[in-house]
Amino acid sequence: MKQLVLQLSKSSIKERMAAYITNILNITIITTFIMVILELQRIQADIKTVSKDENLAKFTAVLICISVVIIIFTLWIICIVHKTLFMQRQNFNINLKLAGISSKKLSQIYILEALFMQLPVIPIAIILEQILYYFMATYYEFHMKFIPISMVLVGILAHLVIISICLMFTMRKLAKFDVVEKMRGKKSTDSLKTMGKLEFIKFIIGCTAMVASLIFKLITKSQDNTIINCVQIAGAYLSFDAILIFMQYILMWIGKTIKSRTLVLAQMNILGYYKKTEPIMVTLIIGIMLSVGLNGMFLTCREIGRKTVEQNVYFKDLIIYQRYNKKVTQPDLENMIYAIDPDAQAAFSFGLKVLDSEGVKNEITGIDEGYLKYGEKMELVDGTDISKVINDENWDGILLPEYFISEKKLGKKYKVSLNGEALEFTIKGRFIANGSRGRYGFVSKAYLQKQLGFKGLVNMIHLKKGNQILLDKLLKYENSPNIDHISKTDIANNSYENAIKGTEIFEIGAFCIILCALLMLVNYFTIISKQNNLDVARFRAMGMNKKFMIKTYITEILSIVTQSSIIGLVFAYIFESVGVKMVLPYIDVVIEPIMPVQYVIMIIIMVLVISIIIMLNTIKDSLGNKYIGFLKFRD
């Protein structure tokens, strides 16, 4: 068996190159994303934009799921590449079977070949992943700049175990072929692909799942049920095969109707070699779904952060007096403001930067009923009305954002310190945060002033309405030498930038999916070039000219990419809709999922151009006058 494996290892580098590349990519992706997840957990703990409880677990789980999906996608490509490699060695496989090699032994030979491939793959992958991670770590300011040896070994071990399991199932199935049937040389183009029993059953189950979930949504009037949304995605996936086959016949009918021979022949090629073209289309569909879906999901989440601030924050300007030359009370500021602009609308608060029990900076703001009117929308998760207690100087409650604290923390003490002096509050509520603004909370202004002995003192003005003269006066207030001005636009932009912080890394991962899909296309076009050249030669012998054949194959590429893009974008929209609701459970603004149009156009054009160039390059010999040679020396 070892000699047979060595014989395979000396086969065409061209055939094996795609397998080498996909294995290198898989190790690199597994190890890099393990490190990224670990680094994201550290970042989340440091910046404290989510709590250590359920929300951090939920956020991290989403990111881990995305990483797992990307890894599964690369593994799927590896399986297809090795499957294609197996099919290209048909004569070798037949000879081994005739020599008495069992299906089990044949599958073991190919699995051993795949494992032998790892000898050059592993060192190259280690170098590549270290370089890639170094640039990512430098750009995103990660704590560690290089992947430690322990994580490198974990990535390699995970890769070897996973590909061994995947290839074991794939090769065992492939090795169980009928030698006699293969020797007869039966071609897959003898008949066009039709909808079989399996496709029909999957279609019925898929449609039933989608209709049932839609009826459930209409009855319950719930659009945010994650499980039901996942059922819809599963239903669409089960219906996929039947829809894809049906689309080919629709396009062929259109070609016949408009008398387009190139379209008809292109669709016949797709249906005739459906087992070869389907993996290409599935690869593109999954690649577009994940890549566009992830980009759109993160873009939508950021826009929700911005829109929430624009909708729910009432004031247009926040003026902060860091210190005063002499004591200033709220009545003093009110008299000054209304003397300049009698129609002004403003809320006054007392804000402090404190340290919590973990030594992390918090912004605690003492507010009153005026803040609920002119400051921002204040809605608690449980619907409690705080207007009756927020003015009470004896109410020791603190309200914290829902993304920061879990429900089980309600009623517990929340200790902070200001210049070494301890302050203690009781967690009385979780409010729905207006955008992503870090770690902050609200308390009764009267209670905070009483605890610190600063009765009547305020240092923040939330100006909802006021003329320019008033704003200029407040920004040049002579009694405060240190004044900060934050506009509503600044808060909105900051919320946009901080929403689901750290996901830029996964946008890079999303683009890697498209690159993997493109690699799959290039590999497939290269490996099936022999059969395509034979087909072109046959058509040339029948009198078809070079121009017609070029148009036919370009039409075939256009058909494959266009169909894959349309289906992929539909799935991306569903994926994005479900993902947004998983990441942001409380959405207070009406916003449709945003599709990254420029990104979509870029990847479709990129895939089209590269696919056409590769395809035409693989059949260029048979397009010339030497096509007779392909007919003479065909298998």
At CB < 8 A and 24+ separation, what contacts does 403-406 make?
A: 403/49, 403/50, 403/51, 403/55, 403/433, 403/436, 404/48, 404/49, 404/50, 404/51, 404/55, 404/433, 404/439, 405/51, 405/53, 405/430, 406/51, 406/53, 406/54, 406/55
State how far the Cα of 535 lies from the Cα of 512, in Å rounded to an integer: 33
pLDDT attached to residue 394: 92
Alpha carbon separation from 635 to 90, 181, 224 (Å, rounded): 10, 15, 57
State how far the Cα of 509 lies from the Cα of 63, in Å rounded to an integer: 11
pLDDT tens profile 530-581: 777 888 888 888 888 888 888 988 998 899 899 999 988 988 888 888 778 7
Residues whose CB is less than 8 angstroms from the CB of residue 625 and which lie 6 or more positions away in sequence, other chains included: none
pLDDT attached to residue 240: 80
Q: What is the pLDDT confidence band of residue 396, given thresholds at 50, 70 and 90?
A: very high
Q: What is the dihedral of CA 69, 73, 75, 77, to 10 degrees?
A: 180
336 or 114, which is more confident: 336
Question: Which amino acid does the sequence have at 616?
Answer: L
pLDDT attached to residue 225: 65
Which of 17-31, 222-236, 404-418, 617-631 reaches the highest mean pLDDT?
404-418
pLDDT tens profile 306-353: 888 889 899 999 999 988 888 888 999 999 999 999 999 999 999 998
Cα–chain center distance at 375: 35
Which of 171-180, 413-422, 429-438 reaches the highest mean pLDDT?
413-422
The helix (run of H) or strand (run of E) holding residue 345 is strand 345-356
State how far the Cα of 486 lies from the Cα of 276, in Å rounded to an integer: 59
pLDDT tens profile 582-627: 767 677 777 888 888 998 999 899 888 988 888 888 888 788 777 6
The helix (run of H) or strand (run of E) holding residue 462 is strand 460-465
pLDDT attached to residue 52: 42
* Of residues 510, 542, 530, the one with CA closest to residue 635: 530
How many residues belong to the chain?
635
Which of 50-59, 161-170, 318-327 reaches the highest mean pLDDT?
318-327
* DSSP per-residue string spanning 236-257: HHHHHHHHHHHHHHHHHHHHHH
Q: What is the pLDDT confidence band of residue 63, given thresholds at 50, 70 and 90?
A: low
- Burial 339-357, CB ≥16 within 10 A → b, else e: ebbeebbbbbbbbbebebe
With contact defined as beta carbons under 8 Å apart, do 445 and 458 qualify?
A: yes
Q: What is the pLDDT confidence band of residue 253, given thresholds at 50, 70 and 90?
A: very high
Q: How many helices (H) and strands (E) does the chain have?
A: 23, 9
State how far the Cα of 78 lies from the Cα of 18, in Å rounded to an integer: 9
* Of residues 49, 51, 36, 66, the one with CA closest to residue 578: 66
